[in-house]
Structure 1
Amino acid sequence: MNEHDQCCSAERSTMRSDKIKSNLVSRLNRVEGQIRGIRGMVEKDVYCDDILNQIAAVQSALNAVGKILLEGHMRSCVMERIQQGDEEVIDELLKTMNKLMK
């Protein structure tokens, strides 16, 4: 298996390499910690601007996770389905990208 996701479209699951999975889990753990930190800031009545800056950092971190997943999805699942003649995957991908960009 290469570093990119490998799609099992019939089951709607994706096998990821240990390296990619570890990277994603590590990033998500940091986001989780940042969220707990923001909650603590709210509970301590920290200045609004400081909290908003932390929220922006969390959004950026989640966007980075989304980019990694999107790239892997496009290089594996989407490519595989297009090669099989399934052009509906493009509509699915566009819907997903619209959700990510809101």
Structure 2
Amino acid sequence: MVLVAAGLSASLSSVLAPLGSLHWSMTAFSMIAVAASWLIVLRKYRHKSHCHSQAAVKWFKNRQIIMLLVATVLSFIAAAWGYFEPTLMKAFM
């Protein structure tokens, strides 16, 4: 199983290597998509629970909110990748 996963990851890295030049455009697109998703979700929740006292509790139990938080964090990591990649490369080489 490990050898299959290693072979699959090696073949995918050769196929996905040309996308490296599109890093900034793909990062910008993902940040725009995440921001638009946040706007849609915030509008929906603002109309649903304007003065509800349990709105904050329900906010973090919603799977959509959790996935948007993860997507936001991953988008910011992708945008800041150039700052901490050299340190990671030195640490693991």
TM-score of the pair, normalised by structure 1: 0.47
Q: Which has the higher contact order (CA 8 A, sep 6+)?
A: 2
Whether 2:36 is the aligned partner of 1:24: answer no
- Could you tell me how far apart the structure 1 residues matched to 2:65 and 2:30 are? 16
Q: TM-score, normalised by structure 2?
A: 0.50
Deviation at 1:3, TM superposition (A): 3.8
- Unmatched 5+ stretches in structure 2: 1-19
Partner of 2:21: 2
Task: Return 29-38 or 57-66, whichever deviates more.
Answer: 57-66
Normalized per residue, the structure richer in helix is: 2
- How many equivalent pairs are there? 68
C-alpha contact (below 8 Å) 1:24/1:65 kept by paired residues: yes
Q: Is the 8 A contact 2:27 2:78 kept in 1?
A: no
Corresponding residue for residue 58 of structure 1: 65
Unaligned runs of 5+ in 1: 5-16, 88-102
| CA RMSD after TM alignment | 3.4
Cα distance between partner residues in 1 of 2:21 and 2:72: 19
Contact 1:3 1:19 in 2 (8 A): yes
Higher Rg of the two aligned structures? 2
Q: 1:17-37 CA deviation, whole Å, 9 max, x = no partner? A: 122201211111111110111
Identity of aligned residues (%): 7
2:48 paired residue number = 41
Structure number having the greater strand percentage? 1
Alignment partner of 1:67 out of 67, 71, 74: 74
Residue 59 of structure 1: CA displacement? 3.1
Q: Tell me, yes or no, if the aligned pair for 2:27 and 2:79 is still in contact at 8 Å.
A: no
Q: How far apart in 2 are the matches of 1:43 and 1:72?
A: 34
CA contact (8 A) 1:31 1:61 kept: yes
Distance 1:54 1:36 in 2: 16
